[in-house]
Structures are given as structure tokens and as C-alpha cells.
Amino acid sequence: MTAPSQDALSAAVSDLMPMASDIFDRIRAASRDHDGVTRPAWSSQDQTAADILFGAARDQGLATWQDAIGNAYAELPGRDPSAPGILSGSHLDSVARGGNFDGLAGAVAAVVALAAMHRAGLTPGCRLTAMGIRCEESVWFGIAYVGARLAVGAMGRAEFDRLVRLDSGRSITAHMQDLSLAADDIWNQGPVISPANTKAFLELHIEQGPLLEEQNTPLAVATAIRGNLRHGDGVCHGAYQHSAATPRRLRQDSVLAVTELLQGLEALWHEIEDGEDPSAVFTVGKLFTDPDHHALTKVPGVCHFSLNFGSTEQATLDRAGAAIAALSEDIGQRRRVRFVLGEAVGSSPTPLDPGLRARLRESASRLAIPVREFATVGHDASIFARAGIPAAMVLVRNGEGSHNPHEKMAMADFELGTQVLAATMATISGAAGG
């Protein structure tokens, strides 16, 4: 892309920021719930978000359409209609009483990038598509990435037919029918998005941790999406005994056994994080005794806990799994308790595309926008990457985390992220003026 074209594109992105603010405000007002927003998947709220955003895309001269399950798209045609296109977007749903920018920021940024290119008079070499994705959050149907998985053909009909919204108890098809979607068409059409028609997926998303604030930097290029290894409902069974009458050698103390396990796993985490894998994280989200049976004067007989390792490296997750098994076996024997960990669930780490990451860094450098690089958590991008479509992500600084009403992305940072996204889409699509 020539320097005058880049300047025209940057100016157009800036010109479109009032429109972006207005879209955020209108969608927030339409999905407000106490001090946050609630946009369940396949509800009137996420449909309204799609209608507002893609209505604005039409007003900007972009063609729009919806697939059979309601993922929403805007398109800017390329010089070669048969060339594989470039796709960008994020999810439209939110958790209950969540924040307005988690997901929505990436869908708005994609529409703004296309509209800016159109406004700047640039024609991409291949088709550019902005996507508003349904149902990324797992809180609605119990699993994440439903809209993205259906779009790339990575969900079978049997799994789909079992999906029930956790709060309403109604099937996913019933919720789709509420929105007049003919979901059955998805099984006749085949995947809407595939490596044959899409050569890159780029997702802008607010950062969900505190790193960019700490590092006083507006943007990051994500290196990889962490996988995880989880035991959600671990239990340690010992015996309830008299606290004063039972000597140490005869105790079967479930709490002290669990704390030994946790300390062993924390030591392993520190060793891995200080050594070969700085992306490693370890969380004990749940730890409790039974309030019907526990007491100040009782040795605790049962202790419940969860274990959650995350990493961009499969070797770390494997090492954690082996350590959990070995430690629980050893501690169980020595302390005469029994660990029941239940089935391990988890996901594999997803590397993001090195070439696209380099293009994002180059765009930022050309625009003199500082960026960091670090690993991120699960996002729709992982589904496109696993489907064989090279994927990369831009993270935007966001105080106060996400999945809560207090997330605070500054519009100035959103603009910088959208500049990098638009410039990268223009470069890799071979956009040219005139």
C-alpha cells in the first residue's frame, strides 16, 4: 500500500470513530441490565446488536447478509471475486451483566475497517468480510464458540441437537426459531467459512487481564491461545474425627491433604513459569468443606476443590497432568485419604499464525503505535485456526478485566487497534487506490 493510501485509510478510520461510539452506545442501551449488559446468544438482544451494527455497515455502502444460524456479515468486494477473502470479527453475545466491549469491540472494529477502506477509495485485491459471531460465551448453552464452530463446520448435528439453553431449558433450535432463523439450512449448505474461501482471520478483542495497563501500552499482538487442563469437581475423602482426641498419626485430614497437593502444584507452576514456559497459569477457583458437617472441633472428613492449569504449551499441560496424578497418589497413601478428581477436561493450545502476527506488528510500527506480545485466553480465533485458516489477534488495553460491567476500554485505544486492523487488512489484501 502506498503512503498516500495509508494516510487516506488512517484518516477514514478516525472519521468513523463517532459512528463507532454511537454504535457502542445504542447497543449498550438496547442490552442494558443493571450496571452491565446482557446479550444472551440467539436472543432479541444479540439480534438487535447485529441489526444496529450491520445496519450501520449498509449505511456505509457495504453489502450485508446473515448465514442460516444468524452470524452476521458485511462485505467489501475485491478485484478478484474468486480469490480467498480475509475475514475479521468477534462475538455479539455477552455474559449476564457483563461489559459492552467484550466481543462487540472486535465486530465493530471489523465493520469500521471495511467502511474506512471503502471511504478512502481503496479496492482490496480479495473480498474483505466483517463478521458478528453468535454464541462465543459458554454461559448460555454450556459450551463456547457455537456460532464459529457451526460456521466452519466443526460441530456435528448430534451435538447441536443436544444443546439446551441453561437458563430457559429450551433447545437451541427453539431459540433460533424465535428469531425466524431456518437453522436446518446449515446442514444442507456445508461450511460457510473454509480455508478454500478464507485465507486469514483477524480478531480484535479487549484484553481480559491487566498486562497492557501494567505496561502502559495500548495494544498487544497475541502470540497464542492458551489451552487448559481442568478438574472442576475434585474431592478428597478422609474421615471426620475429634479434633482434640485424635493424634496426628491416626488422622485422615482432607483439608491438610488438599493443601499439600495445592502447594506441590503451585511449586511446579512457579518452576515452569520461571523456566521454560512463562505462559503457564494455575488457579484453584474452588476450595471448600461441607458446611453441614464441618466444625471448629472436627478433623475435616471431606474437602472439595478445583484445579485449572492453562498454557500455550501442550508439554506444560501434560506435565501438570502427570504431577496431579503422582502427587495425589503419594499424598493419599501417606495421609490415608482418597482423592477423586473426576474426568480431566480441557482444550489444546492454539498457536496463532506467525506470518499474520508479523503483518500486525509491521502495521503498528508503520503507524508508530507501540505493541506488546503475549499469550491470550480462549477466543473465536482458535476455532478458525483449528479449521486451517491462519488466524491472529489484536488485544486492546482494558482496565478492570472483562465479564463484568466495569471493563473500561478507552475509545482512543480502540481507534489505535482499529487502525492496525484496517492497515493490516489493506496490506495483506493488496488494497490499492483508484
Contact positions vs Zn ion (CB under 5 A) = 102-103
Q: How far is the CB of 298 from Zn ion (least distance, A)?
A: 43
**DSSP secondary structure letter of residue 352:** P
For residues 361 and 27, what is the distance between their CA atoms, to the nearest angstrom? 31
Q: How far is the CB of 395 from Zn ion (least distance, A)?
A: 11
Q: How far is the CB of 105 from Zn ion (least distance, A)?
A: 9
**One-character DSSP codes across 187-217:** HHH--SS-TTTEEEEEEEEE-SSSHHHHTT-
Output the CA torsion sign for 415, 138, 52, 131: positive
Residue 136 or 353: the one with the smaller Cβ distance to Zn ion is 136
For residues 297 and 282, what is the distance between their CA atoms, to the nearest angstrom? 32
Residue 39 or 231: the one with the smaller Cβ distance to Zn ion is 39
Q: How many CB atoms lie within 10 A of CB 276?
A: 12
Residue 138 or 241: the one with the smaller Cβ distance to Zn ion is 138
Q: How far is the CB of 340 from Zn ion (least distance, A)?
A: 33
Residue 20 or 324: the one with the smaller Cβ distance to Zn ion is 20
Q: How far is the CB of 349 from Zn ion (least distance, A)?
A: 18
Residue 199 or 403: the one with the smaller Cβ distance to Zn ion is 403
396's grid cell: 486492546
Residue 142 or 354: the one with the smaller Cβ distance to Zn ion is 142
Instruction: Provide the angle, in degrees to the nearest 10, between the axes of the packed helices 354-366 and 411-428.
Output: 120
Residue reference for cell 469437581: 233
Q: How far is the CB of 27 from Zn ion (least distance, A)?
A: 15
> 432 forms bridges with which residues in the sheet?
123
Residue 102 or 313: the one with the smaller Cβ distance to Zn ion is 102
Residue 92 or 229: the one with the smaller Cβ distance to Zn ion is 92
> 288 forms bridges with which residues in the sheet?
304
Could you give the angle at the alpha carbon of 52 between the alpha carbons of 418 and 127, nearest 5°? 50
10 Å CB burial of residue 333 (0-12, 13-18, 19+) is exposed
Of 269, 238, 278, 230, nearest to 255 by C-alpha is 238
352's grid cell: 496463532
Q: How far is the CB of 139 from Zn ion (least distance, A)?
A: 11
Q: How far is the CB of 200 from Zn ion (least distance, A)?
A: 20
421's grid cell: 486492523
